[in-house]
Structure 1
């Protein structure tokens, strides 16, 4: 019996040990890297990029001549034309034809050249869209990550509040027993403890929802609990940046902005393609053909063999064709007008995005500065509220203040602590956004314990 218990304990120890070792601690960069590799929506952008690459390659292939081969065979009955003499005969006969033809555009109003450039710009836009989608995913994961960190911090504050209330409740119970405290104070403290327990449960539920959202963005299909590690060791400081200079720097490399520029350039080439329909087009054509006819006979009335007819009936053709658009019910010019309007629309969209990006950047810089000031003030206030709560706690124990004043000091400290946590997490998000504006993808940075990583963190 003792041996069985020992074996059971060893097995449980191994299972628990393996579970603890298997549980991975996730940093922000690890979460983002995992999401980029496994997110389903990114695969859609990868497919679209491959499609645009194939369109660009096909546009170049369209400069090659087109080659076609055809053959036909048939058995004629009754009255039909003799392929040799073109006379009508009433004889049943077999015939077959073979043809190889080719055509190439000599001039088509530079339509093919403009289509090549059009598809190249579309390919660039598709590539930028994929990179921008990756960046958006990284920021979505970052926000979700800090949401989890924030609510874990809030849960820690809530736990401290509950533990402090439980300790105060035990002290009050003893004092009520000896008549040093009123029973109403005890009832009030129990009611407040229940409120704090409820608040703790609500924060736990919110934390679970935030964690689920992070897992969804990462496509992390696992029931195991995620243990996040916030490795950021940056010291909150005031950041000064010139919006105009930062804006020019960002638009110089931003995949989002460059995708819009590529769409404008593609629209310009679309206008050039529409204009090509107003020009004449010249095509060079050539073909070689031969045939076999059962009515082709020699002097003895025997059908000439297939090999001889293949050589004798061979026909070559070389020529050119010219097509001039004379009148198409204004269809071509209408397409040109619409292409001009599309170009105007694309340029207007570019100007609109520039304006939105600039004011969004100004707003983020303003919020970054405000968060720095808020955090600094809340840190100072926390020190004061901590001292005020300790003093209120002693006074309440001594009966110098009532329970309402005690809970005012206690709740004020908890609120200030939560504001410190909120301002810090939001400042970190805005700070990483500022780094991104400068061209630094923080999730691709060197590890924080390396000199390069420390330098990037302090920038």
Structure 2
């Protein structure tokens, strides 16, 4: 008997585990860790960090070993006055180090550091974009669940009304048409509830797709209860704009890219400067002849006796480079102008977005307060209609109109509330407040 009971209990445990509720923070974290665009940006960060390490290592000397072998077939050797065959080899190590190149090494390191920062800001921008999208989808689920609750509450009322109408009809107090209308109201409200459930499932599906989950059927979020008593905080538009300029990664990236363009100009100018390179070579050689009369020392003896140390300094002075250096500087200056223009565009975009967010937050606040007032009026009207119907001075058609008006007002208020919440989240985002705070 114990074995029989174990299976359903185990299955139940698996089912409960699969239905783990996701919080908003969990959704945001999952999206930022698994979104393919963000992953690609992080890979670019790793590449830029490797480039930085490469730039940091360029001041180090190079060292290379070599081992050469050759066979010479000559037509005449002066010592024997005839053709000869000679085998030679050499081995050793050589090294080079840059002594001076116009500060190019330091400029490349500084540029590589800036490129790392640029990719990091690009990743932060992608994280912010996906986070806002997750919050929007998350709130859409909460909204549709509230709309479902409104529809279910209205269905409960119409079912009670149908039960009451059935009793009144049985007692001969209302006409058959009134009973049929009550039945039609219940049927319509059941359809509304079914449609609302589909919208909840659709919203869950959309968020699960955004999170790139393998199976949307096992996805659900935590129950979120947000009070209707929400107000817009005090915001100074100029202060929000200043914060956005200072903290938005898109602006920071544009600033870093402008600084990088300045480094490119300095790098291009180093092409006009001389380069000084130091070198050192340590090696030896061996030669052997296959002709009689041409005798060579033993292999190891020659290697020992032929050791050489060569020190050198090479200076390269650019005289004429087909105007390439001049063109490189001009190209870098044009790129700097583009970077400056991009920074201004980013600031303009931020300014427009902040102003739009500020306007939308204020407008949605007014719309929400208006919707709440509409609900209060509709509740009074629906209550009066119900009392009038109960007293027999109002027919079921007019009662249904009043009740439908209340449902519409409640639905509009729910939509206005979550629209207001999201607009506030966008404004909070530009004001430097964490996106997941307050939900």
Which TM class, normalised by the smaller chain length?
0.7 to 0.9
Q: How many residues align?
A: 438
| 1:72 aligned onto 2:68 | yes
Cα distance, 1:265 vs structure 2: 1.0
109 and 179 in structure 1: CA distance in 2 versus 1, 3 angstrom threshold: same
The answer for the alignment partner of 1:281 in structure 2 is 275
| Partners of 1:221 and 1:184 in 2: CA distance | 52
Is the Cα–Cα contact under 8 Å of residues 97 and 291 in structure 1 kept in the other structure?
yes
After TM superposition, list the pairs within 5 Å mapping 1:302-381 onto structure 2.
Answer: 302-381=295-374
After TM superposition, list the pairs within 5 Å mapping 1:211-226 onto structure 2.
Answer: 211-222=204-215, 223-226=217-220
| Partners of 1:201 and 1:159 in 2: CA distance | 9
303 and 141 in structure 1: CA distance in 2 versus 1, 3 angstrom threshold: same
| 1:29 aligned onto 2:25 | yes
Q: Deviations over 1:308-358 (max 9, x none)?
A: 212322333333333333333333322222211111111111111111112
| Partners of 1:86 and 1:316 in 2: CA distance | 29
| Partners of 1:187 and 1:214 in 2: CA distance | 41
Structure 1 spans left out of the alignment, 5+ residues: 446-456
| Partners of 2:290 and 2:247 in 1: CA distance | 73
Q: Tell me whether 260-269 or 186-195 shows the greater mean CA deviation.
A: 186-195
306 and 7 in structure 1: CA distance in 2 versus 1, 3 angstrom threshold: closer
Is the Cα–Cα contact under 8 Å of residues 264 and 343 in structure 1 kept in the other structure?
yes
Match of 2:97, SS state, is strand
RMSD of aligned residue pairs (Cα, Å): 3.2
| Partners of 2:255 and 2:280 in 1: CA distance | 42
Structure 2 spans left out of the alignment, 5+ residues: none
The answer for the alignment partner of 1:272 in structure 2 is 266
Cα distance, 1:397 vs structure 2: 4.7
Is the Cα–Cα contact under 8 Å of residues 86 and 288 in structure 2 kept in the other structure?
yes
| 1:41 aligned onto 2:37 | yes
| Partners of 2:60 and 2:368 in 1: CA distance | 66
The answer for the alignment partner of 2:256 in structure 1 is 262
Is the Cα–Cα contact under 8 Å of residues 296 and 304 in structure 1 kept in the other structure?
no
The answer for the alignment partner of 1:454 in structure 2 is none
Cα distance, 1:171 vs structure 2: 3.4
After TM superposition, list the pairs within 5 Å mapping 1:9-408 onto structure 2.
Answer: 12=8, 15-16=11-12, 19-20=15-16, 23-76=19-72, 78-79=73-74, 90-176=83-169, 180-222=173-215, 223-230=217-224, 235-295=229-289, 302-408=295-401
| Partners of 2:228 and 2:261 in 1: CA distance | 45
The answer for the alignment partner of 2:434 in structure 1 is 441
394 and 281 in structure 1: CA distance in 2 versus 1, 3 angstrom threshold: same
Q: Deviations over 1:361-402 (max 9, x none)?
A: 122122222222222232232222112112223334555334
Cα distance, 1:258 vs structure 2: 1.2
The answer for the alignment partner of 1:451 in structure 2 is none
The answer for the alignment partner of 1:448 in structure 2 is none
Cα distance, 1:64 vs structure 2: 1.7
The answer for the alignment partner of 1:432 in structure 2 is 425
Match of 1:241, SS state, is coil
104 and 153 in structure 1: CA distance in 2 versus 1, 3 angstrom threshold: same
Cα distance, 1:193 vs structure 2: 4.2
| Partners of 2:267 and 2:82 in 1: CA distance | 53
| Partners of 1:288 and 1:420 in 2: CA distance | 86
| Partners of 1:212 and 1:324 in 2: CA distance | 67
**TM-score normalised by length of structure 1:** 0.84
Cα distance, 1:204 vs structure 2: 2.5
Match of 2:348, SS state, is helix
Q: Deviations over 1:183-227 (max 9, x none)?
A: 444444544544443433333233222212222333333432414
